[in-house]
Copies of this chain bind each other. A is one copy, B any other.
Amino acid sequence: MKSVIAEIITIGDEILYGQIVDTNSAWMGTELTKIGIKVKQITSISDSAAHIIEALDNAKTRADIILMTGGLGPTKDDLTKVVLTSYFNTTLELHEPSLADVEEIFKKRGREITELNRQQAFLPAACTPVRNVLGTAPGMWFEKEGKVYISMPGVPFEMKRMMTDTILPKLKAFFKTPEIIHKVVQTVGIPESILADKLEKWELNLPEHIKLAYLPHLGGVRLRLTGVGIDAKQLEQEIQAEVDKLQQIIPNYIFAFGELSLEAAIGQLLKERGLTIATAESCTGGYLAHKLTSISGSSAYYHGSVIAYHNDVKIRELGVKPETLQQHGAVSEATVKEMAANVRQKFNTDIGVATSGIAGPDGGTPEKPVGTIWIAYADKYKTEAKLLQFNKDRLLNIEYTAMAVLNLVRQSLTATVEE
């Protein structure tokens, strides 16, 4: 099967001067890859007609699809639109449905439509307009000599909505791309290299048309299985069979199938079981609570937290015994266990978790270097603690610790043991 090749051209000085990071291209790269279209080059160019034309001329020698973002909108003088109108030797015409969309947007905002915005509804006659329900600049789809040229605004949420609603389905149909099915299996608590060891034999035995990708990120590794075929239903079954095998090999490290964060997965588990949770944080300083409360609906299971940065707060608000702090210090198994057990009592929840450690970059000692962190979990059956050892980066230490606590909660909820 010959690959369909795409190139992305982003237009705008703000990317070249580093004022914004180009996250659009990575998103497009991911989505195009998912439907079997291969991105060959991404080119970021300046707001200049000559540069746009040069980039188009170059890209069409290599690609079947050219996706452009940016250079649309009244403050940019709709440069891309003007260039494309001339590039495809056509003229601008009023596109009534686009005008209606622009008028609707201004009506919603309660503002008068300006002449500049009205002009955004004038589009090259040779293009198929792509509806933009979230902004005033419509997209444009051109076809010439079997190649497709697409122009979209650079505003990420407008571009993403257009791609998802219109452009990706249309590209799939136009190029008759094969069926491609992805399944994501999310793991936590196991480093990529150890995971790769455990999965080596299984991966070697995968059918030719199913591929595995390791996508590590902060605190976990996403495994993505991608199958290519003709019959969607059969492909679906084949991939599911591999996912089932995977679950046999690493049952204790999988926390979700599909795109779901660890905090969302835990939220679902807590909701299903009607359990509640409270947190007591020292070194994570609120970040653990933030992760849990970033999930909409978390108030159903999350009661609250005491952030005890000062030792007095640990004693007064969390009931940690002064003797414990004196004998073992704030960063100790004994302290963190008292914090978890007491916050659970105090907030009247089923589960209590706690963190105490040296986030750094300063504050370490030879016995307890920076990155020494204790975490604890308490429920009505048990109170257990775990020692973590990270490095010197304060924010990373905070983030890794929060992930480790969430994983401790997950392990208890799913009643698995670490291998």
User: Which residue among A302, A305, A348, A394 has the maximum number of chain B CB atoms within 10 Å of its CB?
Assistant: A305
Q: For residue A38, which residues in chain B have a CB less than 8 angstroms away from its CB?
A: 16
A354 to chain B, nearest CB (A): 13
Q: Does A365 lie at the interface of the complex (its beta carbon under 8 Å from any beta carbon of B)?
A: no
- CB within 8 Å of B: which of A265-305? 279, 281, 284-290, 292-294, 296-299, 302-305
CB-CB under 8 A for A44 and B42, given A18-B25, A26-B18: yes
Bound: A306/B343 CA distance, A: 11
Q: Does A184 lie at the interface of the complex (its beta carbon under 8 Å from any beta carbon of B)?
A: no
Bound: A287/B284 CA distance, A: 11
Bound: A213/B28 CA distance, A: 29
CB-CB under 8 A for A16 and B43, given A285-B290, A286-B305: no
Asked if B41 contacts A42 (CB within 8 A), the reply is no
Q: CB-CB contacts of A4-36 with B at 8 A, as 1s and 0s?
A: 000000000001111111110111111111000
Asked if A22 contacts B19 (CB within 8 A), the reply is no
Asked if B303 contacts A305 (CB within 8 A), the reply is no
Q: For residue A308, which residues in chain B have a CB less than 8 angstroms away from its CB?
A: 304
Q: For residue A215, which residues in chain B have a CB less than 8 angstroms away from its CB?
A: 19
- CB within 8 Å of B: which of A231-274? none
Main SS class of interface, A: mixed
A416 to chain B, nearest CB (A): 27
Interface residues on A, range: 35 or more
Closest B residue to A309 by beta carbon equals: B304
Q: Which of A147-155, A166-174, A310-318, A406-414 contacts B (4 or more CB under 8 A)?
A: A310-318
Q: Does A324 lie at the interface of the complex (its beta carbon under 8 Å from any beta carbon of B)?
A: no
Bound: A29/B362 CA distance, A: 32
Q: For residue A285, which residues in chain B have a CB less than 8 angstroms away from its CB?
A: 289-290, 292-294, 298, 302
Q: CB-CB contacts of A167-188 with B at 8 A, as 1s and 0s?
A: 0000000000000000000000
Q: Does A395 lie at the interface of the complex (its beta carbon under 8 Å from any beta carbon of B)?
A: yes
Q: For residue A23, which residues in chain B have a CB less than 8 angstroms away from its CB?
A: 21
A45 to chain B, nearest CB (A): 5
A82 to chain B, nearest CB (A): 20
- CB within 8 Å of B: which of A322-365? 346-348, 359-362
Q: Does A307 lie at the interface of the complex (its beta carbon under 8 Å from any beta carbon of B)?
A: yes
A371 to chain B, nearest CB (A): 13
Q: Does A368 lie at the interface of the complex (its beta carbon under 8 Å from any beta carbon of B)?
A: no
Q: For residue A309, which residues in chain B have a CB less than 8 angstroms away from its CB?
A: 293, 298-299, 302-304
Please list the residues of chain A having a beta carbon within 8 angstroms of any beta carbon in chain B.
15-23, 25-33, 38-46, 51, 55, 58, 213, 215, 279, 281, 284-290, 292-294, 296-299, 302-310, 312-313, 317, 346-348, 359-362, 394-395, 398
A sample of 14 inter-chain contacts (CB < 8 A) reads A16-B41, A18-B32, A19-B26, A20-B26, A21-B23, A43-B44, A58-B58, A285-B290, A285-B302, A286-B307, A290-B290, A294-B395, A297-B362, A303-B312
